[in-house]
Structure formats: C-alpha cells, structure tokens
A and B are shown apart, each in its own frame.
Chain A
C-alpha cells in the first residue's frame, strides 16, 4: 500500500513506516491506559493515543496531498487542550474528597 498518489510529490520516507510508528505509539498509550493506577498517568496515556492518531492523520494527508487532513489535526489539538483542562479540574475535585487519585481506590459504583 505504500506509495503516494500520482500527481503528488513522492515521499522520501515510505509512508508505511509512519503508519507503523503511529500504530505502535497508539498501542503503547493503550497499554498505559489499561495498566496504570494513577489517574493522571492514565490521562497522560490517553494524550499519547490522541497524538498517535494525529500522526496518522498527518500521514494520510501527506499521502493524498490534501491540506484538509491537517485541519483535523488542528482541531484535535484544540479539543484535547479543552479536555485536559476539564479533566484535570475533575481530578482536583476528586482529590479533595478522596485524598487520592488511585483509580482502584475509587470504586464506589460496584455491585
């Protein structure tokens, strides 16, 4: 599949490499989200996943030769910022009541 479209300047680095890197980063981020106990660490892993996806979008944009792909990335970054703000505010509030951000210790809605 690697190879740009005709009419677009060819890439020096094969695009498949970018895709693999992005996918691996995503997998690493996923592993972190599932394995960490600290809420903030989980959040960091999610940020990593978002960035991996950004990389994917940029790769496809370059492969197609279409600028619009970068638009998406722009918006993703902005939204991630907003999300980080709100998420951290929630963690702060959570910490005030529970005195911990360990997700294993905040399991109230259990059977």
Chain B
C-alpha cells in the first residue's frame, strides 16, 4: 500500500468520478444525459492528466473535448430532437448478452495484459524528459520541429473535415 499523500487522494477522487460517470453514460437512456455524464468524465480525466505531468493536455481536454466536441454533440442531438431511446421490443437479445459478456471479458483480458506487460523499454528518449518545470514551451518546440510535418498535415485534415461536414449536411447541392 503506497504512502497516503495528496496525490493519491486526488487520484482516487478523480478516477472514481471518471469511472462512475462513464458507467452512468452507458446506462442512461436519454442522449442528452449521456453527453452530460461524459462531460463530467472528461473533467475527471483531465485531472488525471495533470497528475501525469501533462498540464497542457489536461487543458486541451477541457477546451477541445469537453468544450467543443461534446457541445457539438449536444447541438446535433437537439437539432435532431432525439427523444429518449425507446426500450420497447429489443429484438436482439443475443447481441445484448453476448456484447456485455465480450466487453467484460475483453476488459478483464486487457487489464491483465497491460499489467503483465513489461516495463516500457529503455530506448533513447524521443522528446525532452518529464516532469519538467516548463514543459509547455518544450511541447511547443517539439511540435514545431520534430513533428512539424504531422502538424501541417493535421491542419489540412481539419480543413478537409470541416469541408466534408459542410458538404454532407447540406440540404441540396447548389
């Protein structure tokens, strides 16, 4: 049992939050409620990110994920005016039971496999060492030097996604 410290407490709370609301999200019948549960989950995850010496990522999680993507989800749900999921005649019992079993099994397997996996190899580091005091500038430097090409391509990807989304949701091609 590791020593009780602040970090451990924070970890415990955050992970509990994340897991609980994740479960809630899956269980909820209304899509709106699912989205909101997921937002809370993301909050928990971003706290965990901070614990892992990734403050930038944590911020990104809130801004982009919880703030933009899930809000987009909400917009679409409301646009489509989706009601609660009708739980009448679920004509696929095999799918449900099998799905649940497989998910549980896979979860167990993955957990076991990850835990049994060896320590990450001692190869040469490909980026600056963490934790460090000023890692956001370091991240920026990394982004614009080693990962410049990926960055540019990413921006192109976002452009394509935007155009694509526009095209797909048009009413008529004019």
Q: Which of A54, A64, A88 is in CB contact (< 8 Å) with B125?
A: A64
Task: Judge whether A31 and B99 touch: CB under 8 Å.
Answer: yes
Q: Which of B68, B69, B168 is in CB contact (< 8 Å) with A93?
A: B168
Task: Judge whether A35 and B99 touch: CB under 8 Å.
Answer: yes
Chain A contributes a number of interface residues (CB within 8 A of B) equal to 79
Could you give, for residues 23-39 of chain A, a 1 whenever the CB lies within 8 Å of some chain B CB and a 0 otherwise?
11111111110111110
Q: Which of A24, A38, A58 is in CB contact (< 8 Å) with B19?
A: A24
Is the contact region of chain A dominated by helix, strand, or loop, or is it mixed?
helix
Task: Judge whether A30 and B18 touch: CB under 8 Å.
Answer: no
Task: Judge whether A5 and B120 touch: CB under 8 Å.
Answer: yes
Q: How many A-B residue pairs have CB under 8 A?
A: 259
Could you give, for residues 115-127 of chain B, a 1 whenever the CB lies within 8 Å of some chain A CB and a 0 otherwise?
1111110100111
Binding site for A on B (CB under 8 A): 2, 5, 7-8, 11, 15, 18-19, 22-23, 25-26, 31, 34-35, 38, 41-42, 45, 48-49, 51-54, 56-57, 60-61, 64-65, 68-70, 72-73, 76-77, 79-80, 82, 85, 90-92, 95-96, 99-100, 102-104, 106-108, 110-111, 114-120, 122, 125-131, 135, 138-139, 142-143, 146-147, 150, 154, 157-158, 160-162, 164-169, 171
